[in-house]
Amino acid sequence: MSAALAAAVLELVRAAAPDAEAEVRVAETTLALTRFANSFVHQNVTDTGTRVRLRMHLDGRTATGSTNGTDTDSLGRLVASTIAAARLLPPDQGWPGLTPPGPTATAGNWDDATADAPPEVRARIVRDFVAAAGGLETAGFCRTHAERLAYANTAGQEVAAAYTSAAADGIARLAAGPGGVRADGVARQAATAVGELDGAALGTIAAAKARAGADPVDLPPGRYEVVLEPSAVADVLTLLGMYGFNGRAVTEGRSFLVPGTAQFDPAVTVDDDATDPAAIGPGFDAEGTPKGPTPLVTAGLSGGPVHDRRTAAEAGTESTGHAIPGGERFGAMPENLFLRPGPGGTVDDLVAGVERGLLVSDLWYTRVLDPKTLVVTGLTRNGVWLIEDGQIRRAVSNLRFTQSYADALGPGNVAGVGSVPAGVPVSWDLGAVSTPPLRLASWNMTGGAAG
C-alpha cells in the first residue's frame, strides 16, 4: 500500500506541475502502548495510521506538505496546497536536488510477532515486572511498534522498508525512610522484537536498585570518577550525535568536532549502522538516501560528521543518509548509534576498579549549555551510589552536574568500556542506543538536585 500511495502522489504532481522535482514518503505505523502505575495496568492504547509527506521544488522554491488522508481527494489537496505554498515561498538557493536511484543495504529488522502483538503480550511483560519487584510500588510502560515505509521521487529513486521495535521501561519505588526520602530504581530495555523483552529481569533489577537506594547521604560538589550504566551512557551518545556529529552544526562552526583528530579516548569506538542486526529503523533516510555503516569515532579518532543532501552540498561532500523528516533546518542526525564494547566486563567489574567514585543509573533533564564544547547540565536520577575501594558503600542523594560530554570521553578519561551492550530506549523517536557501561576518570558534580 505504501509504495502504491507514493506512486499515486507522484502521478498527481506530474499532472499538476510537470517541471517540479518532488519526493514522497509514506509511513504506515502501528504503535501500541501498555502503561502501568501503582503496580496496575491503567492504560492500553493502539494507534494505527498512515502519514504521507510531500516535498516539492518548483520554480526555484521548495515547499513541504503532509496529510493523514489516503483517499484521492486528500492526496489531491496535498499536491495542490504544496504547489501553492511553493509559489509563495522565497527562492531556495541551497536546493541540493533529489536522491538518485540506488539500492538499500537493508530492508529493516522486522518481527511478525511484534507487529501483531496483542495487549496480552505487553500485559504479561508488565505482570512479570511487577511480580519480580517483590511488593514494591511500580510504574512504567511496555510498547510495541511497527512501521512500513515507502519513498519515491521524480528522479527515479524508489525504496521501501519495514521494521519493528519493542521497549519496556519501569520504576520500582521504596517508600520513604526515616529521612523522608523515597528511593526509585529503574530498568529499561529496547529491542527489535517483543520476544526479547524480559519483564522479570527488569523488575528484579529495578527493585534491587530501589532497595539499595534507601537512606542516601549528601555529597559535596566536585569531580568524581564515575561508572555510568547504559541508560546514562545513552544520553551522552544521543547528545553527541545531535549536536556534535550533526553536519550542519559542523559547517556552521557550532560543533566541537574536528574530523581526523584524536578527540576521544582510544578505548572509544562509535558508529551509526542501520545494517546492524540490532538496529531499529529503515535502511534509508527521509530523502531516500541509502544508509550504511558510518564510523563516527574509531579507536578515539574522530570521523563523521553525518550529512543530509543539503548539508553535504554545503560541505562539498556526499550525503551519508542521515536526513530526518522535517530536519532541513536542524541538520542531519545519526539514529542508530552503537558504542562498541570493550574488555571491561559488567557494571560490577567496572565498579571493582574504582577507588572512590560514583555509580550512576541515569542522567536526567539534560540541557546543552554550550553547543560548541557540548557542556551539558542535568541531574542524576533513579539511583546513584558511593563507591569506595571497589565496593558500593551506600546510596547518595541526587546530584546536579555540569560537564562537557565531549571531554568526558576525551583522551585519558575513559578508564573502562564494558563488554556487555544493552539496548536503551530513546523515547523521542522510538529508536534505541546500543551501549555497554562506561568507567570515566572524571565527572563534574556541581551541587545537589536543588541547584
Q: What is the pLDDT of residues 134-153, one digit of tens each?
A: 999 999 999 999 999 999 99
CA-CA distances (angstroms) from residue 168 to 63, 120, 252? Answer: 38, 14, 38
Joined together, the cell numbers standing for residue 223 give 569531580
Closest CA to 444 of 376, 396, 386, 395: 376
Q: What element of type H or E holds 401?
A: strand 399-404
Closest CA to 387 of 424, 417, 349: 349
Q: What pLDDT is recorded for position 336?
A: 94
Q: Position 184: which residue type? A: D
Q: Are 140 and 122 in contact (CB under 8 A)?
A: no
CA atoms 374, 376, 381, 383: torsion sign:
positive
User: Is pLDDT at 450 greater than 70 in this prediction?
Assistant: no
Please give the mean pLDDT across all residues of the chain: 95
Distance from C-alpha of 168 to C-alpha of 187, rounded to nearest angstrom: 8
Q: What pLDDT is recorded for position 270?
A: 98
Distance from C-alpha of 22 to C-alpha of 6, rounded to nearest angstrom: 11
Q: Position 129: which residue type? A: F
Q: What pLDDT is recorded for position 175?
A: 85
Distance from C-alpha of 428 to C-alpha of 345, rounded to nearest angstrom: 30
Q: What pLDDT is recorded for position 428?
A: 60
The string over 112-142, giving b where at least 16 C-beta atoms fall within 10 Å of a residue's C-beta and e elsewhere, is: eebbebebebbbebbbbbbebbeebbbbbbb
Q: Which residues contact 442 (CB under 8 A, 6 or more apart)?
A: 223, 224, 225, 408, 413
Distance from C-alpha of 84 to C-alpha of 259, rounded to nearest angstrom: 42
pLDDT band for position 70 (cuts 50, 70, 90): very high
User: Is pLDDT at 81 greater than 90 in this prediction?
Assistant: yes
Distance from C-alpha of 378 to C-alpha of 368, rounded to nearest angstrom: 9
Q: Are 243 and 235 in contact (CB under 8 A)?
A: no
Distance from C-alpha of 319 to C-alpha of 12, rounded to nearest angstrom: 28
Tell me what percent of the residues of the chain surpass a pLDDT of 70. 98
Q: What is the pLDDT of residues 342-370, one digit of tens each?
A: 999 999 999 999 999 999 999 999 999 99
End-to-end CA distance of the chain: 53
The string over 365-392, giving b where at least 16 C-beta atoms fall within 10 Å of a residue's C-beta and e elsewhere, is: ebebeebeebbbebbbbbbbbbbeeeeb
Distance from C-alpha of 98 to C-alpha of 308, rounded to nearest angstrom: 11
Instruction: Calculate the CA 330 to chain-centre distance.
Output: 16
DSSP secondary-structure letter at 242? I
Q: What is the pLDDT of residues 164-196, one digit of tens each?
A: 999 999 999 998 766 666 889 999 999 999 999
Q: Are 296 and 334 in contact (CB under 8 A)?
A: yes
Q: What pLDDT is recorded for position 429?
A: 66
Question: How many CA within 13 A on the CB side of residue 8?
Answer: 18
User: Is pLDDT at 254 greater than 60 in this prediction?
Assistant: yes
Angle in degrees, 0-180, between the axes of helices 199-212 and 119-132, rounded to the nearest 10: 30
Instruction: Calculate the CA 301 to chain-centre distance.
Output: 23
Q: Are 153 and 184 in contact (CB under 8 A)?
A: no
Q: What is the mean pLDDT of residues 381-392?
A: 96
Place of cell 509511513: 27
pLDDT band for position 1 (cuts 50, 70, 90): confident
Place of cell 560538589: 221
pLDDT band for position 248 (cuts 50, 70, 90): very high
Radius of gyration from C-alpha coordinates of the chain: 23
- Give the Cβ contact number of residue 332 at 10 Å: 32
Q: Which domains does the chain have, with CATH numbers?
A: 2-212 (3.30.2290.10), 222-448 (no CATH)
Q: What element of type H or E holds 122?
A: helix 119-132
